Amino acid sequence: MTSISFSILLKAVEERTLKKLFWGFLTLASTVLLCLHLWIMISGYIAYDSVTNIISMRRGHWTFLL
């Protein structure tokens, strides 16, 4: 009786741990993709001229993907 309830409890803990790992990995992956997307958008539209020290908006370029 005790071993049956222990195995059920162990299975529940394993399932909960797997769910936490899955959602943790999914959250991490989506956060990385979101940060990458924001970095692409910002670096594509904001230009900094080191000679005149002017920050300007420009048309986005996707050259690093080539």
Owning domain of residue 15: 2-65
Q: What is the dihedral of CA 36, 42, 47, 50, to 10 degrees?
A: -60
Q: How many domains does the chain have?
A: 1
**Which residue matches tokens 């048309």?**
59
pTM of the prediction? 0.53
pLDDT band of 66, cuts 50, 70, 90? very low
Residue type, 41: M
Residue 55 DSSP class: E
The whole-number pLDDT of residue 7 equals 74
Q: Which tokens in the block code for residue 55? A: 């920050």
More confident residue, 6 or 26: 26
- SS3 state of residue 51: coil
What is the rounded CA–CA span in Å between residue 1 and residue 13? 19
